[in-house]
């Protein structure tokens, strides 16, 4: 086991929501973020799904990393293994949700497969590997990152709804104004950085 950084998992959880938001400071998951945030309800569903997937993947990948990859010395395969872990988690989660909550499945259904290629999930897993988090820290970091992504997409969906009818220069309509909005949100989130100092 590696020497983990000494950060209280709870601090890490809140830091990954606010100060080092995976979307606003690391640009991860921007594609689906822009595509889905048109609609408030879908944003809620996707945010929930992403939070679950990142949290679970962080924990499982941690176990795979320290129990399989490092003992077998196959670090060069870690990207492929992580992707397979993510795809498997998404698949299993899809089946579990389908079995136990058909209504949630109906609302999440189309988003789940998309999450496999959401950069935020793989990004969180790779950050976990590089920063050598312990298991508890990984879980806190995973769920925190997911929650941060969720918070950001909900906020953006609300803002987009609000500016829908505003006069925007033709060339900026759609993606352009959305990117500028995200930029402002990122600036606002920088304001949190004095609160918790991590990284």
Partner 1 sequence: MKSNYGKILKDGIWSNNPIFVQVLGICSTLAVTNNVKNTLIMAAGVTFATGLGSLTLSAIKDLIPRKVRMIIQVLVLSFYVILVDIVLRAYLPAVSKQLGPYVGLIITNCILMGRAEAFAAANPPIASLVDGVANGLGYGIVLTAIAVIREFLGFGSIFGMRIAGAWFTPWTIMIMAPSAFFLVALALWGAKSYTARAEARRKAAGAVRSR
Q: Which residues bind partner 1 (CB under 8 A)?
A: 24-31, 34, 76-77, 79-80, 82-84, 87, 113, 116-119, 121-123, 126-127, 129-130, 169-172, 175-177, 179-180, 182-184, 186-187, 190
Among residues 108 and 122, whose Cβ is nearest to partner 1? 122
Among residues 84 and 163, whose Cβ is nearest to partner 1? 84
Instruction: State the nearest-atom distance from the C-beta of 103 to partner 1, in Å.
Output: 26
d(CA 139, CA 40): 27
Is residue 170 a contact partner of residue 39, using CB atoms and an 8 Å limit?
Answer: no
Q: Which residues of 145-178 are buried (b: 16+ CB within 10 A; e: fewer)?
A: bbbbbbbbbebbbebbeeeeeeeeeeeeeeeebb
Among residues 16 and 100, whose Cβ is nearest to partner 1? 16
Among residues 28 and 97, whose Cβ is nearest to partner 1? 28
Is residue 111 a contact partner of residue 45, using CB atoms and an 8 Å limit?
Answer: yes
Among residues 31 and 195, whose Cβ is nearest to partner 1? 31
Instruction: State the nearest-atom distance from the C-beta of 18 to partner 1, in Å.
Output: 14
Q: Which residues of 1-36 are buried (b: 16+ CB within 10 A; e: fewer)?
A: eeeeeebebebbbbbbbbbbbbbbbbebbbebbbeb
């Amino acid at each position: 086991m590696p020497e983990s950084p000494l950060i209280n998992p709870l601090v890490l959880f809140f830091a990954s929501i606010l100060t080092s938001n995976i979307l606003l400071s690391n640009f991860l998951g921007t594609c689906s973020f822009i595509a889905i945030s048109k609609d408030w309800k879908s944003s809620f569903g996707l945010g929930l799904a992403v939070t679950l997937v990142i949290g679970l993947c962080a924990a499982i990948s941690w176990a795979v990393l320290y129990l399989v990859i490092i003992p077998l010395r196959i670090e060069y395969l870690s990207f492929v293994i992580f992707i397979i872990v993510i795809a498997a988690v998404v698949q299993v989660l899809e089946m579990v949700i389908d079995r136990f909550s058909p209504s949630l499945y109906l609302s999440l259904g189309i988003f789940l497969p998309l999450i496999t290629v959401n950069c935020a999930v793989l990004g969180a897993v790779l950050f976990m590997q590089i920063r050598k988090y312990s298991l508890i820290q990984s879980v806190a970091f995973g769920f925190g990152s997911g929650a941060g992504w969720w918070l950001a997409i909900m906020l953006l969906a609300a803002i987009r709804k609000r500016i829908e009818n505003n006069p925007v220069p033709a060339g900026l309509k759609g993606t352009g104004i959305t990117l500028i909005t995200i930029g402002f949100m990122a600036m606002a989130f920088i304001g949190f950085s004095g609160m918790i100092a991590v990284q």
